[in-house]
Chain A
Amino acid sequence: MTGKPVLEAEDIVKDLGHGAAMVRALKGVSLSLVPGELTLLMGPSGSGKTTFLSILGCILTPTAGSLRIAGQSTDRLSPEELADLRRKHIGFVFQSYNLFPTLTALENVRIALDVRGQKGFPAANRAEEVLRDVGLGYRLKSYPGGLSGGEQQRVAVARAIASSPSIVLADEPTASLDSENGHAVMALLSRIAKEQDRSVLAVTHDPRTLSYADRVVRIEDGRIVGEERRPEGLDAPEIADLTKRRKAHG
């Protein structure tokens, strides 16, 4: 562990749907995120990963349980106050990128800053800086429609980190990408966790992503069923090997 948790979720329960169709998607899930780590939340489809991520990102409110972001409890906050928390602390990356099709790459990043009241030249410079950082300096003026999936997802990562949030939450960031681009995006997420001392949580059921994780949390049927941590001193390829061996044995 590298420091104090920036996000602490305890015994989160979430019911989705109404009446007879009601589903208990989360049945008491706890998780803490510390800075400087890329955590993977893995589990089969329908296990509650997206639901959990939505709650951690203050987009859904839990039916029961408590959530603290940067030490602040989210209990009983209004939708506007929750938006405020998201704005201050959280960046999102989505499976289908969710870029604005009518805005250029640069504008897509700028709007995330604009929402935070950062305008004008400093914002434009900052947006350009993060786009260069994710390797898209040559794509500033391209529209999402003219970018490859991998490029779009990197714009989305740039948008998520532009305002330097302490937490980045990514839902299936590689699911729409081919292998090469998937690896590039995972490497990027791993790097932004390390370089900026940031907590990154990526939800996935893609085993290719495993090698980038500092920590893997497994969820099944709304419950945490296991957790592995990369042994100190091992780098990414080694943990990948480790995972393979474990699979072979188990």
Chain B
Amino acid sequence: MTLTLAFRNLFHDRVRLTVTLVGILFAIVLVAVQLGLYLGSSYMITAHIDHAKADLWITAYGAKSFEDGGLLLTPRERHQALATPGVKAVIPLIVKFAEWRKPAGGSTRVVIVGTDAEDGGLEPWALVDGTWEDIKAPESVAVDRTYLKDLGINGLGDTSQIATGRVRVRALTDGVRSFTQSPYTYTTLNRARSLIGVDGERTTFYLVQLEPGADVNVVQQDLRGRLDGAEVLTQEEFRNRSLKQWLFRTGAGVALIGGALLGSLVGTVIVAQTLYSSTKDHLNEFATLRALGSSSGYIRQVILMQAGLSAVMGYILGMTVALGILVLSQGSVLPLVMTPGLAFWLFTLTVGMCAISALAAIFKVMKIDPAVVFNR
């Protein structure tokens, strides 16, 4: 009966129910969008680190992110690393901003990723047109389909120029978006070096793969001792450092998380307000319940169920709208991401929001004097 009463109390005043649900919906959508953007940004920022098969990353000292490595490592570091016990392979990887000259004039910045896929370190993981073999052909590069317009080209076979070298698009990835908004352009190690114009065998990173059974931390310590002027980071450390750089040094992540907090706050206030006014309207009934001998727990249960019902209905509505926005955002500058974890977290947040909102109403109802049931 508590559920029946809660349900009827809610649906008794449709206008208020609508306000409640819109409040929850608004909060969920805002939080989902902000956290979805946050997750989406995180995925973009760490995608290459996550897809690289590396137990440890050797970077130039002070490299703040995947795009910030410079071209400072030399074969000397590679040999030192290879001589370290537990190290199976040391694979070079070049990452560097460069100027892309559009065929029709104008230019834009791209991130050149130079990698030799057969080394087993990093290869473009979302190739939808063309293969790695195509990228090995002369002048060949791969770019992401979603950036074709930004690059001023139409698709496979189009030519362009990076710095001073001619390139031809022979393969396409799909959905590899860039947080810096500079499209990733994949090519081989040597072509990357020649396009950028570095001589020798300099590189941005070395991806270190370990022998089976080797202890990552032990090898990391060992490498640190051997390599001066370079840093040795675990995959996790490098991820976190990149995230910190782009999401927190730039303030973008703070804004997203702040927006999410604000959304939950506004939602809580709206739900608290409507639940409180609903309780106030039904105060006489709660007093009657009390006069009939109901325990205070019984009355709390009715109010919590009102809150819980609002939460479930609001969540369903909010998630529907949030998923709609998510679908629309695909292929945009910043696609949203929704994971089962985030969906669950949002549900917890909604229930928590409604539970906190119920507090004021419960406080009010616990103070009622059952004597109000009599006419005086």
User: Which residues of the partner chain B approach A53 to less than 8 Å between Cβ atoms?
Assistant: 374
- Using known A-B contacts A100-B5, A102-B12, A111-B1, determine if residue A87 contacts B294 with beta carbons closer than 8 Å: yes
- The residues in A between 46 and 79 inclusive whose CB is less than 8 angstroms from any CB of B are 50, 53-54, 57, 59-60, 79
User: Which residues of the partner chain A approach B291 to less than 8 Å between Cβ atoms?
Assistant: 57, 59, 86, 92, 98
| Distance of B363 from chain A, by nearest CB (Å) | 15
- Using known A-B contacts A98-B288, A107-B4, A172-B375, determine if residue A80 contacts B296 with beta carbons closer than 8 Å: yes
Most-contacted residue by chain A among B2, B11, B288, B295 (CB, 10 A): B288
| Distance of B17 from chain A, by nearest CB (Å) | 13
Whether a CB of chain A sits under 8 angstroms from the CB of B284 is yes
Residue of B nearest to A100 (CB): B285
Of the listed stretches A28-36, A114-122, A180-188, A207-215, name the one at the interface; the rest are far from the partner chain.
A114-122
A95 touches B374 (CB 8 A): yes
* Consensus secondary structure, chain B interface: helix
User: Which residues of the partner chain A approach B294 to less than 8 Å between Cβ atoms?
Assistant: 83, 87, 115
Among A50, A87, A88, A103, contact of B5 (Cβ-Cβ < 8 Å): A103
B292 touches A115 (CB 8 A): yes
Among B2, B9, B289, B371, contact of A54 (Cβ-Cβ < 8 Å): B371
Among A87, A96, A101, A107, contact of B292 (Cβ-Cβ < 8 Å): A87
Whether a CB of chain B sits under 8 angstroms from the CB of A218 is no
| Distance of B364 from chain A, by nearest CB (Å) | 16
Contact string against B for A residues 97-109, beta-carbon threshold 8 Å, 1 for contact and 0 otherwise: 0101111000100
- The residues in B between 323 and 376 inclusive whose CB is less than 8 angstroms from any CB of A are 370-371, 373-376
- Using known A-B contacts A114-B1, A115-B289, A115-B294, determine if residue A59 contacts B375 with beta carbons closer than 8 Å: no
Whether a CB of chain A sits under 8 angstroms from the CB of B293 is yes
Within the assembled complex, what's the spacing in Å between the Cα atoms of A116 and B292? 9
User: Which residues of the partner chain A approach B376 to less than 8 Å between Cβ atoms?
Assistant: 50
User: Which residues of the partner chain A approach B285 to less than 8 Å between Cβ atoms?
Assistant: 98, 100-101
Whether a CB of chain A sits under 8 angstroms from the CB of B280 is no
Whether a CB of chain B sits under 8 angstroms from the CB of A110 is yes
Within the assembled complex, what's the spacing in Å between the Cα atoms of A90 and B296? 17
19 extra A-B contacts, CB within 8 A, seeds A54-B371, A92-B373, A95-B374: A50-B374, A80-B296, A83-B295, A84-B293, A84-B295, A85-B293, A86-B291, A86-B293, A87-B293, A92-B292, A94-B288, A94-B373, A94-B375, A98-B285, A100-B8, A111-B1, A115-B289, A115-B298, A171-B374
